[in-house]
Structure formats: structure tokens, C-alpha cells
């Protein structure tokens, strides 16, 4: 399959304005993400509605595409970017990999796993999961959970801890069951991306504020692969400080 890697990036952020351009170890954060992605994918673009981000990416030799500002999500931005890139280059892509612009430590293992999901021709959408570590809080609503079928497809995503362990005290849940957290890396067949971008917002999505529930509600299947690589999203300035410390530890 021919993959297109897209990195949606917005300058505006309620908690961290200008986040993609924040300095991380002497480079803008978006450059860390781009270099990790481009090392794996020959076709890689940052998709943004902000000229500052586009200029920064092109300034370090990367590829970027301007998109409109009215998108509800990174998925919608990826759909527009796919159309623009195919129209301008004449290339056709079988699948799109959506790499979060605030994940500067995305690992090659994760990219290999998510693209490997498409070895099964039935895969429409793919994502990653990771087992919660013992020190992590499974009850944290900011860390979405997922439960899978026996053949590795997502049954449901939730901000609540799922499954509910009836008859087990809450402080023993994590010792009694392997809980899976969702890693926000997606890949879609191009034809599927165009279809899901047209879907209206779903009831479950509104309740949980999780976009992927819109796809499940509409009958799409999401294949999940389990990663063992640590992920660290940067949503706030404090997260950036943690990322700098993470880099220092990893370089020792």
C-alpha cells in the first residue's frame, strides 16, 4: 500500500497557544514530529491553517500544505490535505496515517504497527493501544480507555475505566485486569477517510467527547494494535517541561 503521513497542526490552542512552534531541545516541536514521521514515510506533510507553522516547516526543509480553518478535527483536516496533495502532485494514496502534532516522541515501532494493520485487506481504520502501567491512573478521564474484541477490533472507547469490574474493589482493579489506554495515532484507507469526514457528529461522541465513537456508531470497524513504546503528548507548558526532562533521560 502507498501511505501518506499527515501531521495536523493548529497554532490556536486554549491551553497552549503556539504549541507546534514551542521550543523543545533547540527545535520547534513540530520539527521533532515531522522528522520522526519522515524517517518512516517518504510522503509526509504537515497540514495547518496557520502560515507561521507552514513557513516554519518549509524553513527546515519539510513539506506542508495549507488547509482551511473550519475543521472540527484533525481527521477532517487530513481529508482536505489528502485531496489537495493528490491534486497538486498527481499521486494517489491508498491510506493516510494521522500523526498527532503534539506527539514528538512517536516511535518507529508505533508507525510499523499501525501500517501493519493494513496487511489485513479488511482493515478500514487502524489505531494503537497500550497497557496502563502500574503507576498510571486508569480513572483519569483525560486518558481514554478501550476494550477490544478477540480479533483485535475496538468494541468501545470511553473516558471511564472499562470494563467495569463487578465485585472487585476499585483500588484492586488495576491489579486484577489489564486495562488498555488509547494512543491517538490513526490510519485510514483513503476511501474510508473521505466517508467518515462527511459523517455528522454522533450521540456517543458528544457525550464522551471522543471522535472515534462517531465511526463506531456508523458501523465502521477500528483495528487496534498494541504498542509497548511510551507516548507523551504535550498539551500544556508543564507537559513541555516534562518532555524536556524525558529527552534528557533518554539521551543518557
Per residue in 152-171, pLDDT tens?
Answer: 999 999 999 999 999 999 99
Residue 158: its pLDDT value, please?
98
Residue 204: its pLDDT value, please?
97
CATH 3.90.550.10 matches 3-127+183-201+212-251: yes
The residue assigned the cell 458528544 is 206
Distance of CA 250 to the CA centre of its chain: 22
Residue 251: its pLDDT value, please?
62
CB-neighbour burial class of residue 238 (10 A; exposed 0-12, middle 13-18, buried 19+): exposed
Domain boundaries, the chain: 3-127+183-201+212-251
Per residue in 60-74, pLDDT tens?
Answer: 999 999 998 777 788
Residue 169: its pLDDT value, please?
97
pLDDT along the chain (252 residues), means of 10: 95 80 92 96 96 96 92 88 97 97 91 97 97 95 96 97 97 96 96 96 96 97 94 81 78 59
Residue 231: its pLDDT value, please?
75
Residue 252: its pLDDT value, please?
56
Pairing label, strands 44-48, 64-66: parallel
Assessment of whether the complete model's pTM goes beyond 0.85: yes
Residue 192: its pLDDT value, please?
98
CB-neighbour burial class of residue 235 (10 A; exposed 0-12, middle 13-18, buried 19+): middle
Amino acid at each position: 500500500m502507498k501511505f501518506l503521513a499527515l501531521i495536523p497542526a493548529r497554532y490556536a490552542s486554549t491551553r497552549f497557544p503556539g504549541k507546534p512552534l514551542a521550543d523543545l531541545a533547540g527545535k520547534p516541536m513540530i520539527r521533532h514530529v515531522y522528522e520522526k514521521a519522515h524517517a518512516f514515510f517518504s510522503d509526509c506533510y504537515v497540514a495547518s491553517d496557520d502560515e507561521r507553522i507552514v513557513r516554519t516547516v518549509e524553513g527546515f526543509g519539510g513539506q506542508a500544505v495549507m488547509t482551511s480553518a473550519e475543521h472540527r478535527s484533525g481527521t477532517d483536516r487530513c481529508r482536505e490535505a489528502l485531496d489537495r496533495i493528490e491534486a497538486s502532485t498527481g499521486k494517489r494514496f491508498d491510506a493516510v496515517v494521522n500523526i498527532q502534532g503534539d506527539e514528538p516522541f512517536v516511535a518507529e515501532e508505533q508507525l510499523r504497527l499501525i501500517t501493519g494493520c493494513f496487511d489485513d485487506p479488511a482493515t478500514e481504520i487502524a489505531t494503537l493501544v497500550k497497557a496502563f502501567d502500574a503507576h498510571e491512573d486508569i480513572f483519569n478521564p483525560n486518558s481514554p480507555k478501550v476494550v477490544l474484541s478477540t480479533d483485535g477490533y475496538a468494541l468501545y472507547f470511553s473516558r471511564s475505566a472499562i470494563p467495569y469490574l463487578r465485585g472487585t474493589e476499585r483500588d484492586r482493579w488495576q491489579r486484577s485486569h489489564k486495562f488498555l489506554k488509547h494512543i491517538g495515532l490513526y490510519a485510514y484507507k483513503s476511501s474510508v477517510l473521505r466517508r467518515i469526514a462527511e459523517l455528522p457528529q454522533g450521540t456517543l461522541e458528544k457525550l464522551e467527547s471522543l471522535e472515534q465513537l462517531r465511526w463506531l456508531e456508523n458501523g465502521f470497524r477500528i483495528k487496534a494494535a498494541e504498542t509497548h513504546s511510551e507516548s507523551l503528548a504535550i498539551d500544556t507548558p508543564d507537559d513541555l517541561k516534562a518532555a524536556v526532562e524525558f529527552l534528557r533521560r533518554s539521551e543518557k
